[in-house]
Amino acid sequence: MTVKRVAVLLAAGALFLGGCGGDRSAEQAADQTAGQPAAGKRLSIATGNTTGVYYVLGGGLADQIGKGIPGYQATAEATGASVENIQRVVRGDSDIAFTLADSAADAVAGKDSFTAPQPIRAIARLYDNYTQVAATTESGVKSVADLKGKRVSTGSPNSGTEVIALRLLRAAGLDPDKDVTRQSLGLPESVQGIKDGTLDALVWSGGLPTPGITDLMTSLGDKAAFVPLDGVLPAMQSEHGPVYAAGTIAKDVYKTPADVSTIAVPNLLVVNEKMDPALAESLTKLLFDRKADLEKVHPSAKEITRENAPKTEPVPLHDGAKKYYG
């Protein structure tokens, strides 16, 4: 047999083996995709800043959806939070969203950040967010009114924090566009700004404890302090109603010298009104079936109760959630 003949036979054999390998690879790929959820069964959860509670708890919720609702997988997406999250759900970019109740109330009423009523529905009331205004001690800020002339982060654009921050400033008689040097930053950037000395104060609305705020207070120690908010609460309630309530940041949360008076706002889990009722019911049920697992992700999940969960007014409950609550 000539060398040329041998080369031809070897080449043919390689092609044959390669063809068999290619068929097997296709089979293996098919096997790997079998049982995976279809594209329509992937859920996106709009959360918030990466160092906030929304993002942490949203990741836990996504994990439990994959384990607890057959055929579905979910992903937690970092976002600007409340207002943006509602917009994402309305557009169909996200399926589920965390939002502050005041922003959600504005959405269903079609006011302030929203030019028309938005088609959202609630799955559950979750835990309360606490408005956390932190300032460097050298800035001399001891009240919201003291923020005049200071460099202040009012939160990410289109976030629930931004909504509250602007309302706080106005409640203290300040013009957010004239009386403070305002920066619209996410929590990680805000914390870094305080550390770097490029900011005097930040406003944040989040669960307790918020990892980013823990980092700030631990890093700066007595060089940073919380600003009490009881002085502006009456004006907030007068202008915007009982969605704003008195709250307390207990001293053991961030190891502060004393408790701090603040303003609490409920958080809601919302979806588009067009969500399949069976899926909405399954999501609602999951919150309670997997509550212990969510508590391991973040302690704020302990505040989710069967008694308070349906209390989402003025945001209507989704029909699927109504069915679960009975």
Tens-binned pLDDT, residue by residue, of the chain (326 aa): 443 343 433 343 433 333 333 333 333 333 333 333 344 599 999 999 999 999 999 999 999 999 999 999 999 999 999 999 999 999 999 999 999 999 999 999 999 999 999 999 999 999 999 999 999 999 999 999 999 999 999 999 999 999 999 999 999 999 999 999 999 999 999 999 999 999 999 999 999 999 999 999 999 999 999 999 999 999 999 999 889 999 999 999 999 999 999 999 999 999 999 999 999 999 999 999 999 999 999 999 999 999 999 999 999 999 999 999 99
Q: Which residues 6+ apart lie within 8 Å of 240 measured at CB?
A: 102, 167
Give the DSSP letter of residue 209.
Answer: S
H-only helix segments in the chain = 3-33, 53-68, 82-91, 101-109, 160-171, 187-196, 211-220, 233-240, 251-254, 277-289, 291-297, 319-325
CA dist., res. 74 & res. 56, Å (int): 14
H-only helix segments in 69-120 = 82-91, 101-109
Tokens (6 digits) for 306: 């069967």
CA dist., res. 202 & res. 213, Å (int): 10
Q: How much is the pTM?
A: 0.83
SS (H, E, C) 21-62: HHHHHHHHHHHHHCCCCCHHHEEEEECCCCCCHHHHHHHHHH
Residue 52: the pLDDT is 95
CB contact at 8 A, 146 and 210: no
Give the DSSP letter of residue 317.
Answer: B
Residue 40: the pLDDT is 52
